[in-house]
Amino acid sequence: MSTTSTTSTTRRTTSVVVAVGCVLGMLALSACGSSGEGTSGESATVTLVSHDSWAVSKNVLKDFEKKSGYQVKVLEDGDAGQAVNKAILSKGNPQGDVFFGVDNTLLSRALDNGIFAPYRAKGLERVPSEYQLDVAKHRVTPVDTGDICVNYDKEYFARHKLAVPSSFADLAKPAYKNLLVTENAATSSPGLGFLLGSAAKYGGDGWQGYWKKLVANGVQVVDGWDQAYNEEFSGSAGGKKAGGERPLVVSYASSPPAEAIYADPQPKTSPVGVATGTCFRQVEFAGLLDGAKNEKGGRALLDFLISKEFQQDMPLNMFVDPVTEDASAPADYRKYAVRVGDPETMSPRTIADHRDDWVKSWTSLVRK
């Protein structure tokens, strides 16, 4: 979801470039060419372009490579917003074959710019209709879901005997002055999601008044998730090392398991909590890039991304939830995960109609 990540935090960053040699496919190709192509002339490599939060277990990826005959190369391209913008700029001559990481906040921008080619992934019937936001053309495939929420440093609030904020409105109260850090809505997926969550809560005519209150209450705005969570937030492992002083941060509902699972020793409860009344539902997608050099490999990779094997591997690597009905998150993830019962949502059409204007207005409010 989008977003940058580290091993000890919400969405673990893993740079994956795997080469497993020549694999015999179903057609029993006898050899691999020295140029990296099979004897049929088709490339043996399929390239995935993603934001920096992409991660997968090596054995799961190798299993796909063995079965498909394709080697997977991953190009990580920054925060989700940055990665989408780069994909738009390279339209028609893409860096790779498949793009992963465009979410519902940025989906219309990607579709309107025509960066994806239609493809209905095998197994899509296992994905609930609520996640299929381009069902007419199938230019994108839903891969994961999660919630953008304000996280809090449990130790800070206990030490200061301060009640934890539970809603958007609470964040603007004097008790939480200078405590919140969020990401730039113009460049960061969670930052944009938090802006849209406030617009869903207060309406198109009310969200600006809300943000004026946040600004007056000392909200800090930084460029991206990694800086907010791993440097400014006092509750994360990275933030503690960096001397972070803000006990409230815009991140994800999956931050608690990320902090707990990779701690040594593993705690009984996570040091990070979630203000569940501040959440906005996010869905991430992947799509076959228009002009892809390896369309066949790209289609196979999209099928893999909604396979049960990948979907069940995903939570402990990218700290997001599966979208397929037959996949369940591992027990360690479920132990610490926070479930959000009623997150704010917004239709893709509403986002498309207002996103750019809202971001401009938001920028003028927070950058004065």
Mapping DSSP onto H, E and C, the string for 137-151 reads CCCCEEEEEEEEEEE
pLDDT confidence of residue 10: 39
Would 292 be classed as within a structural domain?
A: yes
Range of the domain at 225: 147-281+340-366
Judgement on whether residues 154 and 291 belong to the same structural domain of the protein? no
CATH number where 101 lies: 3.40.190.10
Judgement on whether residues 273 and 289 belong to the same structural domain of the protein? no
pLDDT confidence of residue 83: 87
Q: CA-CA distance, 51 to 248, in Å (whole number)?
A: 24
Phi, psi of 197 (to 5 degrees): -60, -40
Beta strands in 248-299 (DSSP E): 248-252, 272-289
Would 9 be classed as within a structural domain?
A: no
User: Which of 148, 155, 159 is closest to 182 using CA atoms?
Assistant: 148
Q: For 231, which DSSP code?
A: I
Judgement on whether residues 246 and 235 belong to the same structural domain of the protein? yes
Whether the per-residue pLDDT at 44 is higher than 60: the answer is: yes
Would 37 be classed as within a structural domain?
A: no
Would 17 be classed as within a structural domain?
A: no
Whether the per-residue pLDDT at 9 is higher than 60: the answer is: no
Would 2 be classed as within a structural domain?
A: no
Q: Which residue has the higher pLDDT, 78 or 285?
A: 285
> For residue 368, what pLDDT band results from cuts at 50, 70 and 90?
low
pLDDT confidence of residue 32: 36
What's the total number of domains in the chain?
Answer: 2
- In the numeric block, the tokens 């005519």 are attached to 205
Radius of gyration of the chain (CA): 21
**Cβ–Cβ under 8 Å, residues 168 and 278:** yes
Segment among 40-54, 89-103, 139-153 with least mean pLDDT:
40-54
What residue spans of the chain are helical by DSSP H?
58-68, 80-89, 107-112, 154-159, 168-171, 189-202, 207-216, 225-227, 237-242, 255-261, 295-305, 308-313, 315-318, 331-336, 348-366
Whether the per-residue pLDDT at 187 is higher than 90: the answer is: no
Judgement on whether residues 227 and 277 belong to the same structural domain of the protein? yes
Instruction: Show the tokens assigned to 258.
Output: 């990320």
pLDDT confidence of residue 138: 97
- State pTM to two decimals: 0.82
Segment among 37-51, 154-168, 196-210 with least mean pLDDT:
37-51
Question: What does the pLDDT average to over 262-268?
Answer: 91
Question: What does the pLDDT average to over 66-87?
Answer: 90
Whether the per-residue pLDDT at 13 is higher than 50: the answer is: no
Q: CA-CA distance, 207 to 348, in Å (whole number)?
A: 18
Judgement on whether residues 276 and 287 belong to the same structural domain of the protein? no
Whether the per-residue pLDDT at 48 is higher than 60: the answer is: yes
- Give the chain's mean pLDDT: 89
pLDDT confidence of residue 42: 61
Q: Which residue has the higher pLDDT, 24 or 127?
A: 127
Whether the per-residue pLDDT at 25 is higher than 60: the answer is: no
How much of the chain, in percent, has pLDDT values that exceed 90?
82
Would 221 be classed as within a structural domain?
A: yes
Would 34 be classed as within a structural domain?
A: no
Judgement on whether residues 310 and 325 belong to the same structural domain of the protein? yes
Judgement on whether residues 187 and 247 belong to the same structural domain of the protein? yes
Judgement on whether residues 92 and 153 belong to the same structural domain of the protein? no
pLDDT confidence of residue 189: 86
Judgement on whether residues 290 and 152 belong to the same structural domain of the protein? no
Would 214 be classed as within a structural domain?
A: yes
Give pLDDT tens digits for 301-338. 999 999 999 999 999 999 999 999 999 999 999 999 99
Judgement on whether residues 133 and 120 belong to the same structural domain of the protein? yes
Judgement on whether residues 105 and 215 belong to the same structural domain of the protein? no
Judgement on whether residues 187 and 230 belong to the same structural domain of the protein? yes
Q: Which residue has the higher pLDDT, 82 or 160?
A: 160
